[in-house]
Structure 1
């Protein structure tokens, strides 16, 4: 029992990764559509590359979306508008007209009978089809159906109906010129008093009839019977063949599969997803072992892959045309901010390969997204600089647009029907990519990671902890600034993380705040606190500044990546001065009492700090420095560290160490303002 528990604790990290791998695989498969998928890729205008294709079953040829849209639009134009007519209105209008007319015009008026007859003929003309009281945007030839008591009584065109606003102009144009203006105006006033609309537009009935008609429109234009030759090998996929192949592909996706087929599809998707995620995990294990050994970081990577897949599947399920609005370029941006470009690009490619199984036009989609990922990795540097992010997002958007334009021209051989709305989607995708800045901040808080943006904040010498260091141990603070400058220059020389090593240098000696006067750089009074202590006690105080620094760093919530510099900047070296002092008085000496606990530097950045710290601290002892003295001094210190094996765990090469030596020699020469010696 005890053995099994111990085994579990020893392997809990591997067990966690296995569970994470299985959980991520099944979550992704759960999000994927469980339909069949056409196994062939085809493009319009390109030759059919595989064997002759015969229809595996009977299926309908679907109409092109543009043709279907035109057919529906034509149906809308040819459809009828329905109006309800009140048949009592005309009789009421004539009755009211006779009454008002007789009151308005007396019997002595000449042409009274003729005027009345013309007026009645105008009324008959108005109500031959009817009068409406609202402005409707129908064409003149729009078919109109007039209903009385829910029964169709007449069919006409919209131009034959009168609008109540047209009454005045119609009367003026109809009345003959034999009548005086006063008679005309009086008659028009009579009309305005009695004319009423008798037609009411039945919008609900019109739309219902139209919808019923639209539902009768067939989305198919024919049927392909089983075993019919669809396309031969080498034959060009023209417009007609493309539509047939596209219909067959959609038939595969919408086909009702049996339970057995469904399980096979799920099993196949599980294999593909598991294989892709396994490649990602193996890559991390082989090339990023420090990331692989950190379960939080592995979880973070898998979580981001899962989020991108989730967003894409949601968009595809809603409307597949919007698939390019998902800002997938955020994935390599985030991973580059926390890890490195190579891991970011590899993860991006794996994610795009996963999505290629479910997106429409998979080849086009994968090409665009992989190119965009490469551009993201190549263009984005120093993400903490806002201008760099805006420039990079602009370049990514431009690449999307150019690549999409090229694919469209290849498919259509023209640009007449190019989908301009897709360009808008790319622009929106670019704007969404800018969300990476707040997203990085959120991830830092959720996963306890540190990015270059946080490092920039930590490098501020006005921060509370560095201000405390400058007040309690001003000499150490000045030493840290000098080391930071040397380390940053060295990191830039060998393409290491300059921002990280600078921050590490600023905080590497914060443990000296606990006993500042025991370190020579802080002894301004000329009194050495070590004079009253034994060499062993003095060595222990010096060594403890590493332990104290780690405690202070954790208390102030410094990231682990920064604490690593505090732990490793002395490696497993000895406090040599007090060791030799003790050895002079005592032959029976334990070297462990004078040795730093380590660990040794395990990255380029921590190795750089060890070199720069030792060189800067020891350079204070140089008297009358010359170029040759500085060169020998730097060589001796770094070669001694190399001979002690301090850099064995760091991925730094001899060539890079030599480059760092040159930088340190040049910088120290500048610090001491060395000039050539002029002859006397």
Structure 2
């Protein structure tokens, strides 16, 4: 049991990667469209390259989205809206008219017969006004527009102009009274009618909406059928017009039939294999070409997380509105991966992600081609992200690449510019603006995943930062030494293609541990008094060695990135404090060399190896009395040669040729530091 647990513990990193691959595959397959994949790939305006295709079964020809939208708009344009006639209001108005008529006409000196006649005319006038009802005041509607008026559940189609409006009541009263030759009573009728009349016609929005939905639902999504065995397209024919629409209909029908309960598990299995293979290729690439990243589970998780997020966002856009597909800033993926790792890895992962998205997006060939070109532009152009202008210039280049490629595709498919939708170019511009969000994303990823970018490294080079300010105040000699090492190491890193920014920052902080006991290091001794004279060689060596351990603790306390702490840990490797070892050896023959050895580990990268060489060469160069070109040349060879003999660079991926280049740069830098010139003959 214990052996199994030990084996499990030793393989926990590999087990985690297998789990990560499996869970990411599951999530991506879950996002894939719930339908089978049509086995033929075709593009509008392109020649059909397959064999002549015959209908494998009966299917309906699907209308295009434009056709459906056009029919829907026709229904809306011809639809007659509904208005409701309230009979109860009309009855209450008549009742109130009967009650108020005697009040308004009782003081007139007329006969009862005349009064009855006026009342009869009033009833007629009221019926005339309310024949189609009175609409609310302020309702603006086209008088020539037809409407459906519902009176007691009976529907009547009339012109809106037939309904009485408030501003028309006075005219109707005048015309009616003149027709009956009783205009002398117009004021009485005005006062009476405007006192009792109330609007009783209003728009019935609920009935209108419900009926409109019913009418729209009657629109069919198909037009005609294709019978089994009918030829759809022959080999060599151009896919356009009716052929293109029939092929689209066949693809939809094929996918809907394929994705059934019977085939569900098989399709999921097929998708899972394809996705898992893509992620497996990514794992193998990391293992073979980026072993340092492969061994770091945090970085592997970061890569898989970014791939999944891009697939998730693209799937969401395709599902809810495919028109905004090109707004998704897919180039953020290679941009961010290039920032934290390298361009080759960023582009490789970008291509894998685009290939997976080919299962989701429409016109997959066009999409894949477009995104791969954009990815190439991204990895080739964006550099030194800490320089803000570079990001804006590169985003402009990416946007231009999108527009040029899309424009080329369009004129290839359509053969003209007549129906080109300029809104698509606006989408590409929005895509470019969205790509600018890479800068804040880099900051967020640094905090969440503990990664380091050039932007953070640039901030750490500020010599006015709190930690470097303390180093300058407490150990000015060490601070000056660190600056010199930074200049030498940066120049060497540039020559062999290493990360010069990382090396420079690491050089500035590699000796911060000396702040605790600055006077025990010769560069900080301003007098002839050496505190080591009063100490045992072992104690002196312990103080010297402890500056590495104390530097690590100080760096962690001040939240320096782990990548910088690695340099502090390795800048002396497993070398020996040779001076005090020899001093102890002169006093004690049975000296243990391990008491004078740095704890290590040895450098494990080009950058850490460069810092070790630059630190040793710069520090030892202070002992040169009268440096000349030959002296510096042999001096550098001796220091670096001793480190190589001790095997300090065995774990670093630096070649012998690169070490020779680094030594050459160091010799040149030391020559400049000591201001050596050619000696002219007298």
Query: TM-score of the superposition, structure 1-length normalised?
Result: 0.86
| SS of equivalent residue, structure 1 residue 218 | coil
Match of 1:523 in 2: 525
Match of 1:110 in 2: none
Match of 2:116 in 1: none
Q: Are 2:83 and 2:148, in contact at CA under 8 Å, matched by a contact in 1?
A: yes
Match of 2:44 in 1: 44
Say which is worse superposed, 633-642 or 354-363, in terms of deviation.
633-642
Say which is worse superposed, 336-345 or 251-260, in terms of deviation.
251-260
Q: In 2, Cα distance between the equivalents of 1:272 and 1:314?
A: 21
Q: In 2, Cα distance between the equivalents of 1:586 and 1:407?
A: 83
Change (3 A) 1:260 1:627: same
Match of 2:9 in 1: 9
Residues 97-119 of structure 1: CA deviation (Å, up to 9, x unaligned) = 99899899999xxxxxxxx9999
Match of 1:81 in 2: 81
Q: Are 1:78 and 1:143, in contact at CA under 8 Å, matched by a contact in 2?
A: no
Q: Does 1:148 align with 2:177?
A: no
Q: Does 1:284 align with 2:303?
A: no
Residues 414-466 of structure 1: CA deviation (Å, up to 9, x unaligned) = 44444455445444444443433343333333333323333233333333333
Match of 1:442 in 2: 444
Unaligned runs of 5+ in 1: 108-115
Q: Once the 2 structures are TM-superposed, how far is the Cα of residue 123 of structure 1 from its aligned partner?
A: 8.6
Q: Are 2:101 and 2:192, in contact at CA under 8 Å, matched by a contact in 1?
A: no
Match of 1:201 in 2: 203
Match of 1:616 in 2: 618
Change (3 A) 1:95 1:144: farther
Q: Are 1:53 and 1:230, in contact at CA under 8 Å, matched by a contact in 2?
A: yes
Match of 1:468 in 2: 470
| SS of equivalent residue, structure 1 residue 307 | helix
Unaligned runs of 5+ in 2: 111-118
Q: Once the 2 structures are TM-superposed, how far is the Cα of residue 139 of structure 1 from its aligned partner?
A: 4.9
Say which is worse superposed, 195-204 or 566-575, in terms of deviation.
195-204
Change (3 A) 1:10 1:221: same
| SS of equivalent residue, structure 1 residue 527 | coil
Q: Once the 2 structures are TM-superposed, how far is the Cα of residue 245 of structure 1 from its aligned partner?
A: 1.3
| SS of equivalent residue, structure 1 residue 260 | coil
Change (3 A) 1:94 1:548: closer
Q: In 2, Cα distance between the equivalents of 1:61 and 1:443?
A: 49
Match of 1:19 in 2: 19
Change (3 A) 1:512 1:86: closer
| SS of equivalent residue, structure 2 residue 551 | helix
Q: In 1, Cα distance between the equivalents of 2:245 and 2:604?
A: 60
Change (3 A) 1:202 1:612: same
| SS of equivalent residue, structure 1 residue 61 | strand
Match of 1:373 in 2: 375
Q: Are 1:93 and 1:195, in contact at CA under 8 Å, matched by a contact in 2?
A: no
Change (3 A) 1:433 1:630: same
Q: Once the 2 structures are TM-superposed, how far is the Cα of residue 51 of structure 1 from its aligned partner?
A: 1.8
Superposition map of 1:324-363 within 5 A: 324-363=326-365
Superposition map of 1:110-129 within 5 A: 129=132
Aligned length: 675
Q: In 2, Cα distance between the equivalents of 1:253 and 1:502?
A: 57
Q: Are 1:380 and 1:392, in contact at CA under 8 Å, matched by a contact in 2?
A: yes
Residues 637-672 of structure 1: CA deviation (Å, up to 9, x unaligned) = 334434544333323344443443443334333333
Q: Are 2:286 and 2:293, in contact at CA under 8 Å, matched by a contact in 1?
A: yes
Match of 1:215 in 2: 217
Say which is worse superposed, 270-279 or 604-613, in terms of deviation.
604-613
Q: In 1, Cα distance between the equivalents of 2:2 and 2:97?
A: 109
Q: Are 1:393 and 1:433, in contact at CA under 8 Å, matched by a contact in 2?
A: yes
Say which is worse superposed, 414-423 or 121-130, in terms of deviation.
121-130
Change (3 A) 1:489 1:5: same
Change (3 A) 1:632 1:69: same
Query: TM-score of the superposition, structure 2-length normalised?
Result: 0.86
Q: Are 2:104 and 2:188, in contact at CA under 8 Å, matched by a contact in 1?
A: no
Q: In 1, Cα distance between the equivalents of 2:486 and 2:177?
A: 100
Q: In 2, Cα distance between the equivalents of 1:186 and 1:674?
A: 120
Q: Once the 2 structures are TM-superposed, how far is the Cα of residue 122 of structure 1 from its aligned partner?
A: 9.8
Change (3 A) 1:382 1:99: farther
| SS of equivalent residue, structure 2 residue 371 | helix
Q: Does 1:225 align with 2:227?
A: yes
Q: In 2, Cα distance between the equivalents of 1:173 and 1:653?
A: 109
Q: Once the 2 structures are TM-superposed, how far is the Cα of residue 362 of structure 1 from its aligned partner?
A: 1.7
Change (3 A) 1:512 1:160: same
Superposition map of 1:613-652 within 5 A: 613-652=615-654
Match of 2:115 in 1: none
| Alignment RMSD | 3.9
Q: In 1, Cα distance between the equivalents of 2:262 and 2:197?
A: 73
